[in-house]
Structure 1
Protein backbone atom coordinates (compact mmCIF):
# COMPACT_ATOMS: atom_id res chain seq x y z
CA UNK A 1 0.00 0.00 0.00
CA UNK A 2 2.86 2.40 0.82
CA UNK A 3 5.41 1.06 -1.67
CA UNK A 4 4.41 3.36 -4.53
CA UNK A 5 4.36 6.41 -2.21
CA UNK A 6 7.83 5.65 -0.87
CA UNK A 7 9.42 5.18 -4.30
CA UNK A 8 9.89 8.91 -5.11
CA UNK A 9 11.67 9.34 -1.75
CA UNK A 10 13.98 6.34 -1.78
CA UNK A 11 14.76 5.89 -5.47
CA UNK A 12 16.99 8.97 -6.04
CA UNK A 13 19.54 8.17 -3.26
CA UNK A 14 19.46 4.46 -4.12
CA UNK A 15 20.10 5.28 -7.78
CA UNK A 16 23.15 7.35 -6.87
CA UNK A 17 24.51 4.68 -4.52
CA UNK A 18 23.81 1.93 -7.05
CA UNK A 19 25.64 3.79 -9.81
CA UNK A 20 28.65 4.29 -7.53
CA UNK A 21 28.72 0.59 -6.59
CA UNK A 22 28.40 -0.40 -10.25
CA UNK A 23 31.47 1.72 -11.06
CA UNK A 24 33.35 -0.20 -8.34
CA UNK A 25 32.45 -3.47 -10.05
CA UNK A 26 29.77 -4.67 -7.61
CA UNK A 27 27.20 -6.77 -9.47
CA UNK A 28 23.46 -6.68 -8.87
CA UNK A 29 23.32 -10.43 -8.23
CA UNK A 30 26.13 -10.21 -5.68
CA UNK A 31 24.19 -7.50 -3.84
CA UNK A 32 21.01 -9.64 -3.96
CA UNK A 33 22.79 -12.62 -2.43
CA UNK A 34 24.50 -10.41 0.16
CA UNK A 35 21.14 -9.00 1.20
CA UNK A 36 19.71 -12.50 1.43
CA UNK A 37 22.54 -13.60 3.74
CA UNK A 38 21.88 -10.56 5.92
CA UNK A 39 18.21 -11.51 6.07
CA UNK A 40 19.01 -15.08 7.11
CA UNK A 41 21.35 -13.63 9.71
CA UNK A 42 18.42 -11.59 11.07
CA UNK A 43 16.31 -14.74 11.38
CA UNK A 44 19.17 -16.55 13.13
CA UNK A 45 19.62 -13.61 15.50
CA UNK A 46 15.93 -13.87 16.39
CA UNK A 47 16.29 -17.58 17.17
CA UNK A 48 18.97 -16.72 19.75
CA UNK A 49 17.10 -13.73 21.15
CA UNK A 50 19.40 -11.07 19.71
CA UNK A 51 16.58 -8.82 18.64
CA UNK A 52 18.45 -5.53 18.23
CA UNK A 53 20.99 -7.29 16.02
CA UNK A 54 18.08 -8.75 14.06
CA UNK A 55 16.62 -5.24 13.68
CA UNK A 56 19.90 -3.93 12.25
CA UNK A 57 20.24 -6.88 9.88
CA UNK A 58 16.69 -6.42 8.58
CA UNK A 59 17.50 -2.78 7.81
CA UNK A 60 20.69 -3.81 5.99
CA UNK A 61 18.77 -6.51 4.11
CA UNK A 62 16.33 -3.94 2.82
CA UNK A 63 19.12 -1.55 1.88
CA UNK A 64 20.74 -4.32 -0.17
CA UNK A 65 17.37 -5.15 -1.72
CA UNK A 66 17.03 -1.58 -2.92
CA UNK A 67 20.62 -1.37 -4.14
CA UNK A 68 20.52 -4.51 -6.27
CA UNK A 69 17.87 -2.97 -8.51
CA UNK A 70 19.76 0.34 -8.64
CA UNK A 71 22.94 -1.47 -9.69
CA UNK A 72 21.02 -3.40 -12.33
CA UNK A 73 19.61 -0.18 -13.75
CA UNK A 74 23.12 1.29 -13.88
CA UNK A 75 24.47 -1.76 -15.71
CA UNK A 76 21.91 -4.12 -17.21
CA UNK A 77 18.82 -5.91 -15.97
CA UNK A 78 18.70 -9.68 -16.39
CA UNK A 79 16.04 -12.34 -16.00
CA UNK A 80 18.28 -14.17 -13.53
CA UNK A 81 18.58 -11.06 -11.42
CA UNK A 82 14.82 -10.56 -11.33
CA UNK A 83 14.30 -14.21 -10.48
CA UNK A 84 16.81 -14.16 -7.61
CA UNK A 85 15.38 -10.93 -6.25
CA UNK A 86 11.83 -12.22 -5.89
CA UNK A 87 12.69 -15.76 -4.75
CA UNK A 88 15.20 -14.72 -2.10
CA UNK A 89 12.86 -12.00 -0.84
CA UNK A 90 10.12 -14.58 -0.32
CA UNK A 91 12.50 -16.93 1.48
CA UNK A 92 13.53 -14.08 3.79
CA UNK A 93 9.89 -13.17 4.45
CA UNK A 94 9.32 -16.76 5.61
CA UNK A 95 12.57 -17.05 7.56
CA UNK A 96 11.97 -14.28 10.08
CA UNK A 97 8.59 -15.53 11.40
CA UNK A 98 10.07 -19.03 11.49
CA UNK A 99 12.90 -17.62 13.60
CA UNK A 100 10.38 -16.29 16.12
CA UNK A 101 8.66 -19.69 16.18
CA UNK A 102 11.96 -21.42 16.94
CA UNK A 103 12.85 -18.82 19.57
CA UNK A 104 9.71 -19.48 21.64
CA UNK A 105 7.59 -22.30 20.17
CA UNK A 106 5.06 -22.32 22.99
CA UNK A 107 4.14 -18.64 22.55
CA UNK A 108 4.91 -18.02 18.90
CA UNK A 109 4.57 -21.16 16.80
CA UNK A 110 0.81 -21.01 16.11
CA UNK A 111 0.86 -17.29 15.32
CA UNK A 112 3.90 -17.78 13.07
CA UNK A 113 2.07 -20.57 11.23
CA UNK A 114 -0.94 -18.29 10.66
CA UNK A 115 1.32 -15.50 9.40
CA UNK A 116 3.14 -17.84 7.01
CA UNK A 117 -0.23 -19.18 5.78
CA UNK A 118 -1.31 -15.62 5.00
CA UNK A 119 1.99 -14.92 3.23
CA UNK A 120 1.41 -18.04 1.12
CA UNK A 121 -2.07 -16.85 0.13
CA UNK A 122 -0.96 -13.30 -0.60
CA UNK A 123 2.16 -14.44 -2.46
CA UNK A 124 0.16 -16.83 -4.62
CA UNK A 125 -2.25 -14.09 -5.65
CA UNK A 126 0.72 -11.82 -6.32
CA UNK A 127 2.78 -14.24 -8.43
CA UNK A 128 -0.08 -15.88 -10.34
CA UNK A 129 -1.25 -12.51 -11.60
CA UNK A 130 2.33 -11.62 -12.57
CA UNK A 131 2.37 -14.67 -14.87
CA UNK A 132 -0.89 -13.63 -16.52
CA UNK A 133 0.29 -10.02 -16.82
CA UNK A 134 3.48 -11.17 -18.55
CA UNK A 135 1.40 -13.11 -21.09
CA UNK A 136 -0.60 -9.95 -21.78
CA UNK A 137 2.45 -7.69 -21.98
CA UNK A 138 1.36 -5.54 -19.06
CA UNK A 139 3.95 -3.32 -17.37
CA UNK A 140 3.99 -0.72 -14.62
CA UNK A 141 6.54 1.37 -12.74
CA UNK A 142 4.21 2.30 -9.86
CA UNK A 143 6.31 0.28 -7.38
CA UNK A 144 9.55 1.12 -9.16
CA UNK A 145 11.05 -0.63 -12.16
CA UNK A 146 10.48 -4.35 -11.58
CA UNK A 147 11.12 -7.58 -13.44
CA UNK A 148 7.45 -8.49 -13.14
CA UNK A 149 4.07 -6.78 -13.05
CA UNK A 150 1.88 -7.22 -9.99
CA UNK A 151 -1.28 -5.83 -8.49
CA UNK A 152 -0.92 -3.51 -5.55
CA UNK A 153 -2.35 -4.69 -2.25
CA UNK A 154 -2.99 -3.64 1.33
CA UNK A 155 0.00 -5.67 2.54
CA UNK A 156 3.14 -5.15 0.46
CA UNK A 157 6.86 -4.95 1.08
CA UNK A 158 6.93 -1.74 3.12
CA UNK A 159 4.21 -2.94 5.48
CA UNK A 160 5.86 -6.34 5.91
CA UNK A 161 9.26 -4.84 6.72
CA UNK A 162 7.66 -2.37 9.11
CA UNK A 163 6.04 -5.32 10.85
CA UNK A 164 9.35 -7.18 11.10
CA UNK A 165 11.07 -4.16 12.60
CA UNK A 166 8.33 -3.69 15.20
CA UNK A 167 8.55 -7.41 16.04
CA UNK A 168 12.29 -7.05 16.63
CA UNK A 169 11.71 -4.07 18.91
CA UNK A 170 8.76 -5.72 20.71
CA UNK A 171 9.39 -9.47 20.60
CA UNK A 172 6.95 -10.13 23.43
CA UNK A 173 4.17 -8.87 21.17
CA UNK A 174 5.03 -11.18 18.29
CA UNK A 175 1.87 -13.29 18.55
CA UNK A 176 -0.45 -10.28 18.59
CA UNK A 177 1.38 -8.66 15.70
CA UNK A 178 1.47 -11.88 13.67
CA UNK A 179 -2.24 -12.62 14.08
CA UNK A 180 -3.16 -9.03 13.21
CA UNK A 181 -0.97 -8.86 10.13
CA UNK A 182 -2.12 -12.29 9.01
CA UNK A 183 -5.67 -10.95 8.95
CA UNK A 184 -4.53 -7.97 6.85
CA UNK A 185 -2.69 -10.29 4.44
CA UNK A 186 -5.77 -12.45 3.96
CA UNK A 187 -7.83 -9.34 3.16
CA UNK A 188 -5.09 -8.20 0.78
CA UNK A 189 -5.04 -11.60 -0.94
CA UNK A 190 -8.82 -11.58 -1.31
CA UNK A 191 -8.76 -8.08 -2.79
CA UNK A 192 -6.04 -9.09 -5.26
CA UNK A 193 -8.04 -12.14 -6.32
CA UNK A 194 -11.19 -10.06 -6.89
CA UNK A 195 -9.28 -7.40 -8.81
CA UNK A 196 -7.43 -10.01 -10.87
CA UNK A 197 -10.71 -11.74 -11.67
CA UNK A 198 -12.21 -8.49 -12.94
CA UNK A 199 -9.08 -7.63 -14.94
CA UNK A 200 -8.55 -11.04 -16.51
CA UNK A 201 -12.15 -11.26 -17.76
CA UNK A 202 -11.36 -8.62 -20.37
Structure 2
Protein backbone atom coordinates (compact mmCIF):
# COMPACT_ATOMS: atom_id res chain seq x y z
CA UNK A 1 0.00 0.00 0.00
CA UNK A 2 2.74 2.46 0.98
CA UNK A 3 5.26 1.24 -1.59
CA UNK A 4 3.70 3.41 -4.27
CA UNK A 5 4.29 6.51 -2.13
CA UNK A 6 7.75 5.56 -0.83
CA UNK A 7 9.38 4.28 -4.03
CA UNK A 8 9.44 7.52 -6.07
CA UNK A 9 10.83 9.37 -3.06
CA UNK A 10 13.62 6.86 -2.41
CA UNK A 11 14.58 6.12 -6.00
CA UNK A 12 16.62 9.31 -6.62
CA UNK A 13 18.80 8.60 -3.57
CA UNK A 14 19.16 4.93 -4.50
CA UNK A 15 20.04 5.81 -8.08
CA UNK A 16 22.85 8.07 -6.87
CA UNK A 17 24.28 5.37 -4.61
CA UNK A 18 23.87 2.79 -7.36
CA UNK A 19 25.94 4.85 -9.79
CA UNK A 20 28.79 4.94 -7.27
CA UNK A 21 28.56 1.19 -6.69
CA UNK A 22 28.34 0.38 -10.38
CA UNK A 23 31.41 2.54 -11.04
CA UNK A 24 33.43 0.29 -8.71
CA UNK A 25 32.36 -2.81 -10.61
CA UNK A 26 29.96 -4.14 -7.98
CA UNK A 27 27.14 -6.07 -9.65
CA UNK A 28 23.47 -6.23 -8.72
CA UNK A 29 23.62 -9.91 -7.75
CA UNK A 30 26.43 -9.19 -5.30
CA UNK A 31 24.35 -6.45 -3.70
CA UNK A 32 21.38 -8.84 -3.45
CA UNK A 33 23.41 -11.55 -1.73
CA UNK A 34 25.13 -9.13 0.66
CA UNK A 35 21.78 -7.54 1.56
CA UNK A 36 20.34 -10.94 2.43
CA UNK A 37 23.44 -11.88 4.43
CA UNK A 38 23.13 -8.67 6.44
CA UNK A 39 19.47 -9.52 7.01
CA UNK A 40 20.47 -12.92 8.38
CA UNK A 41 22.98 -11.20 10.66
CA UNK A 42 20.08 -9.04 11.86
CA UNK A 43 18.13 -12.21 12.61
CA UNK A 44 21.02 -13.57 14.67
CA UNK A 45 21.41 -10.31 16.57
CA UNK A 46 17.69 -10.26 17.36
CA UNK A 47 17.69 -13.88 18.50
CA UNK A 48 20.54 -13.08 20.88
CA UNK A 49 18.73 -10.04 22.27
CA UNK A 50 20.75 -7.31 20.54
CA UNK A 51 17.69 -5.55 19.22
CA UNK A 52 19.27 -2.19 18.39
CA UNK A 53 21.99 -3.94 16.41
CA UNK A 54 19.33 -6.07 14.75
CA UNK A 55 17.36 -2.97 13.83
CA UNK A 56 20.40 -1.27 12.29
CA UNK A 57 21.32 -4.40 10.34
CA UNK A 58 17.81 -4.99 9.01
CA UNK A 59 17.61 -1.37 7.79
CA UNK A 60 20.99 -1.73 6.07
CA UNK A 61 19.73 -4.96 4.52
CA UNK A 62 16.66 -3.25 3.09
CA UNK A 63 18.78 -0.41 1.76
CA UNK A 64 20.73 -3.07 -0.12
CA UNK A 65 17.50 -4.59 -1.36
CA UNK A 66 16.58 -1.26 -2.90
CA UNK A 67 20.05 -0.75 -4.32
CA UNK A 68 20.26 -4.03 -6.21
CA UNK A 69 17.47 -3.03 -8.58
CA UNK A 70 19.02 0.38 -9.15
CA UNK A 71 22.39 -1.22 -9.96
CA UNK A 72 20.68 -3.70 -12.27
CA UNK A 73 19.03 -0.86 -14.18
CA UNK A 74 22.47 0.62 -14.80
CA UNK A 75 24.34 -2.59 -15.63
CA UNK A 76 21.52 -4.42 -17.37
CA UNK A 77 18.87 -6.64 -15.83
CA UNK A 78 19.04 -10.42 -15.99
CA UNK A 79 16.40 -13.06 -15.37
CA UNK A 80 18.68 -14.73 -12.84
CA UNK A 81 19.08 -11.46 -10.97
CA UNK A 82 15.32 -11.04 -10.78
CA UNK A 83 14.94 -14.63 -9.58
CA UNK A 84 17.65 -14.22 -6.94
CA UNK A 85 16.14 -10.98 -5.66
CA UNK A 86 12.72 -12.55 -5.15
CA UNK A 87 14.05 -15.69 -3.46
CA UNK A 88 16.32 -13.83 -1.05
CA UNK A 89 13.56 -11.33 -0.23
CA UNK A 90 11.47 -14.27 0.94
CA UNK A 91 14.42 -15.53 2.99
CA UNK A 92 14.68 -12.16 4.73
CA UNK A 93 10.96 -11.78 5.41
CA UNK A 94 10.80 -15.21 7.02
CA UNK A 95 14.03 -14.83 8.95
CA UNK A 96 13.25 -11.69 10.97
CA UNK A 97 10.11 -13.10 12.65
CA UNK A 98 12.08 -16.29 13.30
CA UNK A 99 14.64 -14.20 15.16
CA UNK A 100 11.95 -12.98 17.54
CA UNK A 101 10.62 -16.50 18.00
CA UNK A 102 14.12 -17.64 18.97
CA UNK A 103 14.50 -14.64 21.27
CA UNK A 104 11.47 -15.64 23.36
CA UNK A 105 9.84 -18.88 22.21
CA UNK A 106 7.33 -19.00 25.04
CA UNK A 107 5.89 -15.58 24.24
CA UNK A 108 6.44 -15.39 20.49
CA UNK A 109 6.31 -18.86 18.94
CA UNK A 110 2.61 -19.11 18.13
CA UNK A 111 2.28 -15.52 16.90
CA UNK A 112 5.46 -15.90 14.87
CA UNK A 113 4.18 -19.12 13.31
CA UNK A 114 0.88 -17.48 12.38
CA UNK A 115 2.69 -14.52 10.83
CA UNK A 116 5.09 -16.68 8.83
CA UNK A 117 2.16 -18.85 7.69
CA UNK A 118 0.35 -15.81 6.31
CA UNK A 119 3.58 -14.66 4.64
CA UNK A 120 3.75 -18.09 3.01
CA UNK A 121 0.16 -17.94 1.75
CA UNK A 122 0.55 -14.36 0.57
CA UNK A 123 3.80 -15.19 -1.19
CA UNK A 124 2.17 -18.16 -2.91
CA UNK A 125 -0.71 -16.00 -4.14
CA UNK A 126 1.73 -13.34 -5.33
CA UNK A 127 3.91 -15.77 -7.29
CA UNK A 128 1.00 -17.79 -8.68
CA UNK A 129 -0.66 -14.61 -9.93
CA UNK A 130 2.60 -13.57 -11.57
CA UNK A 131 2.88 -16.92 -13.36
CA UNK A 132 -0.68 -16.74 -14.69
CA UNK A 133 -0.22 -13.11 -15.72
CA UNK A 134 2.94 -14.04 -17.63
CA UNK A 135 1.09 -16.81 -19.45
CA UNK A 136 -1.54 -14.31 -20.55
CA UNK A 137 0.99 -11.69 -21.57
CA UNK A 138 -0.13 -9.21 -18.93
CA UNK A 139 2.17 -6.49 -17.61
CA UNK A 140 2.07 -3.94 -14.81
CA UNK A 141 4.18 -0.98 -13.75
CA UNK A 142 2.20 -0.31 -10.56
CA UNK A 143 5.43 -0.48 -8.53
CA UNK A 144 7.87 0.45 -11.25
CA UNK A 145 9.68 -1.91 -13.59
CA UNK A 146 9.81 -5.39 -12.03
CA UNK A 147 11.10 -8.80 -13.07
CA UNK A 148 7.63 -10.33 -12.75
CA UNK A 149 4.02 -9.15 -12.75
CA UNK A 150 3.61 -7.26 -9.50
CA UNK A 151 0.24 -7.10 -7.76
CA UNK A 152 -0.28 -4.56 -4.99
CA UNK A 153 -1.93 -5.02 -1.60
CA UNK A 154 -2.34 -3.77 1.95
CA UNK A 155 0.74 -5.63 3.19
CA UNK A 156 3.72 -4.79 0.98
CA UNK A 157 7.43 -4.26 1.57
CA UNK A 158 7.18 -0.86 3.28
CA UNK A 159 4.53 -2.03 5.72
CA UNK A 160 6.51 -5.17 6.50
CA UNK A 161 9.71 -3.24 7.17
CA UNK A 162 7.80 -0.86 9.46
CA UNK A 163 6.45 -3.92 11.27
CA UNK A 164 9.96 -5.27 11.78
CA UNK A 165 11.10 -1.89 13.09
CA UNK A 166 8.18 -1.93 15.52
CA UNK A 167 9.17 -5.43 16.64
CA UNK A 168 12.65 -4.14 17.50
CA UNK A 169 11.37 -1.05 19.31
CA UNK A 170 8.49 -2.80 21.11
CA UNK A 171 9.58 -6.42 21.59
CA UNK A 172 7.04 -7.02 24.36
CA UNK A 173 4.30 -6.27 21.81
CA UNK A 174 5.57 -8.79 19.26
CA UNK A 175 2.57 -11.11 19.53
CA UNK A 176 -0.02 -8.35 19.25
CA UNK A 177 1.74 -6.75 16.29
CA UNK A 178 2.29 -10.11 14.60
CA UNK A 179 -1.36 -11.14 14.87
CA UNK A 180 -2.54 -7.76 13.57
CA UNK A 181 -0.18 -7.83 10.62
CA UNK A 182 -1.03 -11.46 9.92
CA UNK A 183 -4.64 -10.34 9.48
CA UNK A 184 -3.56 -7.66 6.98
CA UNK A 185 -1.39 -10.16 5.14
CA UNK A 186 -4.21 -12.69 4.98
CA UNK A 187 -6.53 -10.01 3.63
CA UNK A 188 -3.96 -9.16 0.95
CA UNK A 189 -3.74 -12.82 -0.07
CA UNK A 190 -7.52 -13.24 -0.20
CA UNK A 191 -7.95 -10.03 -2.20
CA UNK A 192 -5.35 -11.29 -4.68
CA UNK A 193 -7.24 -14.58 -5.03
CA UNK A 194 -10.42 -12.62 -5.74
CA UNK A 195 -8.53 -10.53 -8.30
CA UNK A 196 -7.24 -13.70 -9.93
CA UNK A 197 -10.77 -15.08 -10.19
CA UNK A 198 -11.87 -11.90 -11.94
CA UNK A 199 -8.79 -11.67 -14.16
CA UNK A 200 -8.32 -15.28 -15.25
Contact 2:125 2:189 in 1 (8 A): yes
Q: Deviations over 1:31-66 (max 9, x none)?
A: 000000010011101110000001101110110001
Q: Deviations over 1:113-163 (max 9, x none)?
A: 000111011111101001111112222222122101121111011100110
In the alignment, what sits opposite 1:63? 63
Shifted more, 168-177 versus 136-145: the winner is: 136-145
Contact 1:130 1:149 in 2 (8 A): yes
Structure 1 residue runs of 5 or longer lacking an equivalent are none
Match of 2:138, SS state, is coil
Shifted more, 171-180 versus 15-24: the winner is: 15-24
Contact 1:133 1:150 in 2 (8 A): no
Match of 2:46, SS state, is helix
Q: Deviations over 1:77-120 (max 9, x none)?
A: 00110011000000110011111111111000000000011101
Q: Quick one: distance in 1 between partners of 2:199 and 2:150? A: 12
- Is 1:142 matched up with 2:104? no
Instruction: Map 1:38-53 to 2 at 5 A.
Output: 38-53=38-53
Q: Deviations over 1:13-44 (max 9, x none)?
A: 11121122111101000000000001001110
Q: CA RMSD in A?
A: 0.8
In the alignment, what sits opposite 1:181? 181
Structure 1 consecutive aligned stretches of length 4 or more whose deviation exceeds 4 Å: none
Q: Quick one: distance in 2 between partners of 1:74 and 1:101? A: 39
How many aligned positions are there? 200
In the alignment, what sits opposite 2:166? 166
Contact 1:18 1:71 in 2 (8 A): yes
- Is 1:10 matched up with 2:10? yes
Structure 2 residue runs of 5 or longer lacking an equivalent are none
Q: Quick one: distance in 2 between partners of 1:146 and 1:11? A: 14
TM-score (norm 2): 0.98
Q: Deviations over 1:157-183 (max 9, x none)?
A: 110011001101111110111011001
How far 1:7 moved relative to its partner? Answer: 1.5
